[in-house]
Amino acid sequence: MAKNSKTFLVGRDAQTGEFTTIKEARRHPDSYVVERVPKSGYGDVPKELKSVVVNPPKGGPKKSSNAILKSLRYEIKREKR
C-alpha cells in the first residue's frame, strides 16, 4: 500500500454492519467483508463545500451542516446550468 494512502482497511460484519478487525474478517470470509474507508478529509464532500461546512457564516441562521451542504449543492448545480 502507498505510504500516504487516502483510505484504510476495516472489517465489517456482512449481516449487522458492525465494524470488526481485519484479521477477524479475513478469518471468516463468508460472513465478514474487508472494506476501504476514506480517511478524514477525503470523503465525498467537494472541496468548495469543505470550507463552508468547517467555517459557517457568522450571524446567519443556525443550520445543521447537512442543511448547509444541501443548500450549497443546489446553488452549485444552479450555477452550472
Domain residue spans in the chain?
Answer: 7-38, 47-80
- Asked whether the whole model's pTM tops 0.85, one would answer no
Secondary structure class of 32 (helix, strand, coil): strand
Task: Please state, as a whole number, how many other Cβ atoms lie within 10 Å of the Cβ of residue 56.
Answer: 14
Q: Which residue has better confidence, 31 or 41?
A: 31
pLDDT at 39: 85
Rounded Cα distance between 15 and 33, Å, is 10
pLDDT at 77: 63
**pLDDT band with cut points at 50, 70 and 90 for residue 65:** low
What percentage of the chain has pLDDT greater than the value 90?
A: 31
